[in-house]
């Protein structure tokens, strides 16, 4: 599903922020991505959602070598990837509804279907009364939920979330994690970057740990009943 071989990455002419990343995430797996601030978690996710290109090494997604994939085929691959950006990246002038609808519109779905799916999902994340609100008028946690809704609305095969629970209370964090688990059960592969050790421990999925741009893959722990 996601395969990295000796991947290195640098921004411009800067130093390598990721070094020798080699990993193979199976389809349907669930990984937490941890590591101290500045370790390179966001950078690793950027490589996975095709926002950056590696400076060396090989990346393959869904069994396709990205370096040799023609540019015109990349949008189709991107549509199979849902991303929760660390800084949300909601579009200011669009309502919560239109922000969440964006991936479906880009994919060319009909408005009727879009309306149904988006309304239902926003209700599910507790924003039924904020459909028409602009992002700027929402709290940090509400914006984060809109961002998550936008990432999952297209039922992506691969979901990448960068600190998706950073701005919500524990109860909402649990609720969102359960949403992710539901998606995982339906076959979505997940990578969730987080600083929240409690969640990592509680959900006990495999962990990718970054330290100074290098990867230490820890063994998946026994899943704790909870």
Partner 1 sequence: MLRRRLDIPLNRDGSVRFLPWIIALMVYLAGLALSGTLVLQAALDHWNRSLTGTLTVQVPPAEAGAPDPLPAVLALLRGTPGVVSAEPLTRAATAKLIEPWLGSALTPEELALPRLVDLRIDPAAPPDLAALRTRLAAAAPGAALDDHRLWLDRLAALVMSIEATALAIVALIGGAAVLTVVFTTRAGLAVHHAVIEVLHLIGARDGYIAAQFQRQALELGLRGGLVGLLLTVLTLVGIGHAGAATALFGEDVRLLPSLRLALWQWPLLAALPLAAAVIAMLTARFTVLRALKRMP
Ligand X SMILES: Nc1ncnc2c1ncn2[C@@H]1O[C@H](COP(=O)(O)OP(=O)(O)OP(=O)(O)O)[C@@H](O)[C@H]1O
Contact 154, 101 (CB under 8 A): no
| Options 42, 99, 144, 194; binder of Mg ion; rule CB under 5 A | 42
Site residues for partner 1, 54-93, by CB under 8 A, read 71-72, 75-79, 81, 83, 89, 91, 93
Q: Is 19 in the site for ligand X (CB under 6 A)?
A: no
- Pairing label, strands 56-61, 214-218: unpaired
Strand partners, 81: 158
Q: Comparing C-alpha atoms, which of 62, 11, 21, 14 is closest to residue 44?
A: 21
Site string for ligand X, 69-88 (x = CB under 6 A): -----------------x--
Q: Which does 69 bind (CB under 5 to 8 A by kind): Mg ion, partner 1, ligand X, none?
A: none
Least separation, in Å, of the C-beta of 222 and partner 1?
36
Site residues for partner 1, 136-195, by CB under 8 A, read 150, 154
Q: Is 42 in the site for ligand X (CB under 6 A)?
A: yes
Q: Is 17 in the site for ligand X (CB under 6 A)?
A: yes
Q: Which is nearer to ligand X, 47 or 183 (CB)?
A: 47
Read off the tokens for 131.
């459909």
Alpha helices of 22-156 — where are they, by DSSP H? Answer: 41-48, 74-78, 96-106, 111-124, 140-152
Site string for ligand X, 136-175 (x = CB under 6 A): ----------------------------------------
Strand partners, 119: none
d(C-alpha 196, C-alpha 200), whole Å: 7
Q: Which does 39 bind (CB under 5 to 8 A by kind): partner 1, Mg ion, ligand X, none?
A: ligand X
d(C-alpha 125, C-alpha 121), whole Å: 6
Least separation, in Å, of the C-beta of 171 and ligand X?
23
Spatial strand order of the sheet with 2-10 comes to 16-25, 2-10, 56-61, 64-65
Strand partners, 98: none
Q: Which is nearer to ligand X, 55 or 86 (CB)?
A: 86
d(C-alpha 26, C-alpha 87), whole Å: 27
Which residues make up the interface to ligand X (CB under 6 A)?
A: 11, 14, 17, 35, 37-43, 86
Which residues make up the interface to Mg ion (CB under 5 A)?
A: 41-42, 86
């Amino acid at each position: 599903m996601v395969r990295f071989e000796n991947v290195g990455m640098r921004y411009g002419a800067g130093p390598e922020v990721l070094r020798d990343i080699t990993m193979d995430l199976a389809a349907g797996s669930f990984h937490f991505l941890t590591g101290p601030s500045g370790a390179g978690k966001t950078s690793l996710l950027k490589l996975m959602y095709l926002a950056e290109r590696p400076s060396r090494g090989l990346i393959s997604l869904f069994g396709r070598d990205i370096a040799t994939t023609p540019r015109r085929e990349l949008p189709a691959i991107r549509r199979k990837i849902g991303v929760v950006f660390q800084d949300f990246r909601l579009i200011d002038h669009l309502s919560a509804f239109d922000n969440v609808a964006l991936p479906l519109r880009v994919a060319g779905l009909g408005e009727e279907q879009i309306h149904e799916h988006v309304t239902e999902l926003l209700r599910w994340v507790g924003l039924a009364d904020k459909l028409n609100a602009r992002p700027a008028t929402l709290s940090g946690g509400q914006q984060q939920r809109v961002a998550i809704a936008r990432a999952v609305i297209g039922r992506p095969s691969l979901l990448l979330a960068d600190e998706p629970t950073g701005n919500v209370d524990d109860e909402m964090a649990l609720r969102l994690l359960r949403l992710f688990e539901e998606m995982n059960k339906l076959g979505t592969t997940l990578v969730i970057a987080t600083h929240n050790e409690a969640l990592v421990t509680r959900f006990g999925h495999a962990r990718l740990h970054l330290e100074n741009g290098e990867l230490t893959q820890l063994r998946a722990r026994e899943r704790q009943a909870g």
